[in-house]
């Protein structure tokens, strides 16, 4: 069976991380996120994969080429203008033969695809949607089922008074190709707001496949960090690379780690990192390749992309730094703060409470410390 992965969104909720890197290519555990989806497909024998791109399409091909390094065959199709989720699939129709899978490109999941496909065949509908349960369905597509598992309604981003189930669209579908006959070519068209409600209105059978497999949409900074923490806590199968130097502390390749560093797992340190004496790298950190952590700095729950520097005595907690960020001395970064690529944060600053710093907006040293001293 073939799969189409939708990777054309702009990832606005994850800016500034997604200003330079499309969301599906953001590093997760120091690997492009999309690799996780490709590996899931491969695990179930799905090796013919079409990537539907729109935003920064060149980044995908530059990294994955024809897919042979990952053991799959990749076909790239780029929209001139984004065509929305279903228009994007219509746009790759000429590559599709027979029943096929569609994936939202920002979902981390451990779904058993073989079971989903078998359920689709058993029920004989035109579409089968993987469903998961969440506490707040209002950020997703709400999918109530009848007793036989048939979908009764599809409500995208419902208001609370419409919430009659906690089952939501998990962003993976098995589709019969004829559903695309209803979709106009070359136009914006949405699965969630047009195709699915339209199929239901016309009485065409669609089924839901609820599963309690691990599931997470990585679309916000909090979820993006959560994905790292969950993998580090082994909630998903993941092959850690490099050497385990202490319990649950993995070092990927050569790194210069002072013997006087305190490191606690689970944590991953990328190749070529340098960690100075008396620094602490505590649990739930992932350091990209070539990061530098200076003396006395303290990191916990911090995700650093490649080539970041953390100045002496700075504290990083639950935050994400894009490539090449330079943090000065005695800086505090915490509470879902996100710092964009190459930003320099001068000494003694505090970045907290979901603050987002855009590339090109360096922050000068703060004088606050001198005022309060």
Residues in contact with ligand GDD by the rule CB under 6 A: 6-9, 52-54, 79, 82-85, 88, 104-107, 140-141, 156, 168-169, 171, 192, 217, 219
- The least distance separating ligand GDD from the CB of residue 114, rounded to whole angstroms, comes to 21
C-alpha count within 13 angstroms, C-beta hemisphere, residue 291: 29
Q: Quote the tokens at residue 340.
A: 């964009």
Q: Which residue number has the CB closest to Mg ion? A: 219
The answer to whether 192 contacts Mg ion (rule: CB under 5 A) is: no
Residue 7 vs 327, nearer CB to ligand GDD: 7
The stretches of 137-206 forming alpha helices (DSSP H) are 196-201
Instruction: Please list, in sequence order, all residues whose beta carbon lies within 8 angstroms of the beta carbon of residue 12, skipping any fewer than 6 positions away.
Output: 18
Q: Quote the tokens at residue 298.
A: 């303290």
Residue 52 vs 267, nearer CB to ligand GDD: 52
C-alpha count within 13 angstroms, C-beta hemisphere, residue 148: 8
Please identify which residue in 106, 323, 347, 348 interacts with Mg ion, judged by CB under 5 A: 106
Locus of tokens 């800016």: 15
- The least distance separating ligand GDD from the CB of residue 22, rounded to whole angstroms, comes to 8
CA dist list (Å): 288 to 278, 284, 298, 342: 20, 13, 16, 14
Residue 364 has a CB neighbour count (10 Å cut-off) of 11
- The least distance separating ligand GDD from the CB of residue 318, rounded to whole angstroms, comes to 22
Q: Which does 169 bind (CB under 5 to 8 A by kind): ligand GDD, Mg ion, none?
A: ligand GDD
- The least distance separating ligand GDD from the CB of residue 240, rounded to whole angstroms, comes to 26
Residue 59 vs 261, nearer CB to ligand GDD: 59
- The least distance separating ligand GDD from the CB of residue 168, rounded to whole angstroms, comes to 5
Site for Mg ion, residues 213 to 232, rule: CB under 5 A: 217, 219
- The least distance separating ligand GDD from the CB of residue 350, rounded to whole angstroms, comes to 31
Helix axes 33-43, 113-123, angle to 10 degrees: 60
Residues that bind Mg ion (CB under 5 A): 106, 217, 219
């Amino acid at each position: 069976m073939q799969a189409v992965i939708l990777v054309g969104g702009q990832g606005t909720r994850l800016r500034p991380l997604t200003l330079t890197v499309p969301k599906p290519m953001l590093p997760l555990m120091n690997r492009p996120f999309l690799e996780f989806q490709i590996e899931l497909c491969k695990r179930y024998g799905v090796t013919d994969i079409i990537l539907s791109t729109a935003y920064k399409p060149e980044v995908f091909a530059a990294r994955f080429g024809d897919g042979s390094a990952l053991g799959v065959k990749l076909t790239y199709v780029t929209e001139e203008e984004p065509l929305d989720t279903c228009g994007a699939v219509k746009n790759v129709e000429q590559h599709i033969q027979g029943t096929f899978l569609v994936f939202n490109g920002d979902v981390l999941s451990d779904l058993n695809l073989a079971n989903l496909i078998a359920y689709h065949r058993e029920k004989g509908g035109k579409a089968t949607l993987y469903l998961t349960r969440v506490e707040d369905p209002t950020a997703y597509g709400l999918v109530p089922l009848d007793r036989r598992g048939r979908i009764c309604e599809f409500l995208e981003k419902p208001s609370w008074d419409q919430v009659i189930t906690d089952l939501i669209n998990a962003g993976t579908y098995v589709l019969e190709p004829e559903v695309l006959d209803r979709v106009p070519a070359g136009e914006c068209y949405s699965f969630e707001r047009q195709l699915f409600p339209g199929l239901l209105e016309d009485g065409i059978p669609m089924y839901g496949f609820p599963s309690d497999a691990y599931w997470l949409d990585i679309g916000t900074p909090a979820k993006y960090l959560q994905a790292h923490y969950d993998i580090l806590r082994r909630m998903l199968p993941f092959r850690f690379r490099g050497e385990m130097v202490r319990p649950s502390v993995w070092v990927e390749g050569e790194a210069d780690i002072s013997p006087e560093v305190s490191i606690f797992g689970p944590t991953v340190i990328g190749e070529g990192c340098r960690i100075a004496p008396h620094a602490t790298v505590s649990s739930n950190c992932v350091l990209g390749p070539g990061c530098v952590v200076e003396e006395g700095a303290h990191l916990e729950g911090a995700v650093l992309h490649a080539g970041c520097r953390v100045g002496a005595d700075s504290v990083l907690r639950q935050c994400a730094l894009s490539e090449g960020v330079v943090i000065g001395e005695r800086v505090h970064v915490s509470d879902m703060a996100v710092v964009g690529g190459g930003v320099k944060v001068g000494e003694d600053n505090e970045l907290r409470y979901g603050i987002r710093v855009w590339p090109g907006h360096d922050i000068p040293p703060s004088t606050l410390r001198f005022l309060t001293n």
